[in-house]
Amino acid sequence: MSNQKTIKNCFSFSGIGIHSGNACSMQVLPAKAGTGICFIVTDASPPVEIPASPSYIVKKSRETSLAKDDIEIRTVEHFLAAAHGLGIDNLIIEITGRELPTVDGSALPFVEAFQKAGIVVLDYPKKVFMVHSSIAIENDDGEASLIILPFTHFRISCFVDFPVIGCQFFSFDSEKHSFEKEIAPARTFGYAEEIEALKEKGLAKGASLENALGINKDGYMNPPRFPNEPVRHKILDLFGDLALLNGYIKGHIIAIKSGHKLNLELMERLEVIYGKN
């Protein structure tokens, strides 16, 4: 994973945004080395370019969104996770609808589209962040935390504890596991009892059992892809948020009940420490 990558051929998706419920579309194009990943909102006048970087983060607890001026793109994390998990560094994404299509609620459709489009290795080195000292952050009540430690390669160890499904743990090791097989298929998830309250807040308007793993008082409402699918999806989300660094971590991230808001705080911290390297 020493050189940057892009894709050979473009591809597109259309569908609905899981939070807005609105129709949206995206076209993914190759980009030259050093470009990074950049979104272009084509239904703005004039079109607006929003790089996938910590400078454009909008902090939210249930999604990763980017904004420039008053133009916001919602729910970029599953697509970015697919790119980051496959080591793809340079892309242009033209979007309409201000949110990315949710597809099946995982990163797998994007992974498959990248592979079908062809992945091209460029003559340009990747940016790698070697973690030399530990960093720890936690939320206000101390219930959730993220710790990153020096390590020889890349690992994420994640622990969650949710109503009904209880405690789950998974540790992804880049030298032992396949992102495509172990993480990419894990779908976003939610509780049936929360859906109306979320919709009132402008969230989950496009959610269904076709694009999410549902949970009610009896357990999973549709068949899980893994017995511990929710914790794997939390790792998927972290992959997507890490993509905003435009580089690759050599370190061990330990995530305890963390979500997007804490993930993005860590991205900002890492950008300050390592972004100029």
pLDDT at 211: 96
- Could you tell me where in the chain the CATH 3.30.230.20 domains are found? 3-125
pLDDT at 140: 83
Going from the C-alpha of 55 to that of each of 144, 246, 264, the distances in angstroms are: 24, 12, 11
pLDDT at 275: 65
pLDDT at 271: 83
Residue-wise pLDDT tens digits, 90-148: 999 999 999 999 999 999 999 999 999 999 999 999 999 999 999 999 998 889 999 99
pLDDT at 277: 47
- Could you tell me where in the chain the CATH 3.30.1700.10 domains are found? 128-274
Catalytic annotation, pick one of 19, 78, 84, 260: 260
In CATH terms, the fold of domain 128-274 is lpxc deacetylase, domain 1 (3.30.1700)
Question: How far apart are alpha carbons 57 and 78 in whole angstroms?
Answer: 15
In CATH terms, the fold of domain 3-125 is Ribosomal Protein S5; domain 2 (3.30.230)
| 252 catalytic residue (yes or no) | no
Residues of the chain with pLDDT under 50: 277
